[in-house]
Structure formats: structure tokens, C-alpha cells
Structure 1
């Protein structure tokens, strides 16, 4: 079976339709003002209304307070809440219970210690997402979407009790290697299908998803 794909940071009907038409299993919408991919709850409401049942709608938040989550969920239909900040396991559990939605916790990875630390979230999150940790000297670094990759071998031999996604620096050119190295069954891309930060390219979306379809979950 092909690897499942999440196209994140969508903000236009054209890019959303490209993701859905080519078989994305997850579509992501960012609610974080510093990000060039940030959209309003109202815009998200318009876009999520276009998503068929074949794709899960994911809202990406960074250390959100309850009022932001309430505002977004009152305007947009989301299936999964992705937490991409420094949320603790207790906060992840609290959001999951209060808003009655599955929660995906993003883990910033630079080394093996970050993989080990992710284990603390297995009992509070429904899914995990492994992304590259931005170096401290990276100017205007975001919690995700920086186009950086980590050593995919770090994740390969880890066993998890919840589903997980591979993210960080992925594009159509390296996705086959990334899947083969990490043994990922779900992958997430944002900057790798853009012409510039925040502007998705429908041709790159198609190429990325098609590149993943050539890989089998047995990874060779």
C-alpha cells in the first residue's frame, strides 16, 4: 500500500483541491500568526467545508490557549488538533479531553535524545509527528516548515504505540529515500511543495504525492 500523505499549510482552494485530487490522506491548516501559512478561522471554515470524507482535516497550533482553539473550532470543522509548540504531556491530554478531538504532538528532533523524550507523549497524544529541530542560530525560525531535515535513521528502529508521521525537509526528490530510511508509513510536507514560503505549487503537490505512491509499506 502507498504511504499516506499530509499536505500542510494549505491556504487556497487551488492547493487544497490539488492535495485532495491526488490522494492526500491529511490536509493541514496553520493557525499561528508568525507563520507565512497562517490563515484565519473564517478562511479555514471555507476551506474545510470543501474537504471530502476521504481526507482528515488537521489544525496546526503552537502553544494555543483554549480561547484560540474554541474560536477556530467554532468556525472550522477539524478532525485532528496538531500541537507544534512546547506543550507538555499534561497539556496535550487536557486539550484532547476538553475539545474531544484526537491530538497529534509534534516532536522537534536533532538527536536520539529527542526521540527518547517523545516517549513521554505516547499516553497523552493520539499521534506523533517528528520534525527537524531548528538550529538556535536560524533567523526567523518557525516551530515547523523551515525546510530542514533530521537524520531519518534515528526514528527507524523505534517502536511506538501510536501512529506517527515523518516531517521536515521533505520534497519529491528525497521522499523515497526518507521513507526507505525511516520506515515511515505517513509523511508530512509543507515547504517542500512551495514556490515561496506560504505559496503552494499544485505541480509540486502532485509530484510529491506521486513519488510516495511508488513506495510500498514494506520499504523494499
Structure 2
């Protein structure tokens, strides 16, 4: 009886751990899609003030209207995104806690030096990202933190005024570097967690993750760089 009880507990713990990892994987993949969409939208800055301001207004008030009330989509989207981020953070904490407990009990699979380094990097970048995401919200969404722009500034002018400040550019560079570092490992790891990566496709998925992370980095940073050097004014 005791043996069966122990086996049941181990099986339940394993099942719960897999489920939590899958939650973390799915929420992370959705966040990658958001990053691609968000970074693509920022490229409209190169089309001029009218195009970018129109895009920002459409996104804020008119997207999915009249299916949803004016402004309804952006709040629904923000709520879902916030829930996904919370799920990702909580799941990551649970996975970390279980791994720590397993190490303490001497029940842990030995990782390679590369995988161990990646895991530590993911934790550090994840913690830093939490603080930087809140700063990003306070900066561009609620406008609580102002960096050169007025409360009446248009979205286009907010971007220009902000990134003419070199400190904002540097902070944003750190933020994007952390995001893409997280994506670079997390994307293929999420696919592996879901069971979508085979031994013969692992190398390709790692390469694809690096490519997606690089694309996100370039699309996010090209606009601030263009503003900083004066290409966009």
C-alpha cells in the first residue's frame, strides 16, 4: 500500500509539473506573437505622423468595431495579455520551486552546462523583464513616466520625444535585448515542452528561435535607432 501511495504521488507530481510547463509554454508562445505584432506596428513610424497616429487610434478605439464597442478590443487585449503574463510568471515560479525541491531531495536529472546556463539566464531575464514591462506601461500607456513629451502629445510625437533622450534609448535597448534573449531560448523550449520537437528537428528549432529573436530585436530597435540618429523627426 505504501509503495502504491508513493507511486501515485510521484505520478501526480509529474503530471502536474507537465501541465504547469505546458501552461508556461502556451502563454509564452502567445506572447511571442504579440511581440511580432507590436514590433511590426512600430515600423509604421517610417510612414510618417499621419500613418502612425492613424494606426495607434485604430488600435486603441476602432479595432473589431462594431463587433466590440469602441475601445473595447484594446482593454480586452490588455486584460488577456496581463493574465497570460501572470500565468507565465506563476508557472515559471512553480517549475523553479519544483526543480529546487528535487535538487534538495537528490532527485534531479543532470543538465548539460549549456542547458543549465540557459535556465539561469531565463530566470534572470524573466525577473528583469517584469520590472521593465511595468516601466514600459507607465511610460507609453498610462504616461505616468514622462520623458520629454507632454500629456497632449500624439503617439508619433511621444515616440520621437522619448527616443531623442539617450537614456531612454539605452533602457529600451536593454529591455529589447532581455526580451529577445528570453525568446531565443524560450521559443524552441516551449515547442519541446509541448512535444512538438523531435531529436532530428531540435537543431532546426534552436536555429528558428534565434532567427525569430533576431527579427524581433531588429524590428523593435530600428525605429528608436532611426529617431536617435535623426532619420525620424
Q: TM-score range by the shorter chain?
A: under 0.3
Greater relative CO, 1 or 2 (CA 8 Å, sep 6+): 2
Question: Normalized per residue, which structure has more strand?
Answer: 1
Larger Rg: 2
TM-score (norm 1): 0.25
Normalised by the size of structure 2, how large is the TM-score?
Answer: 0.24
Higher helix share: 2
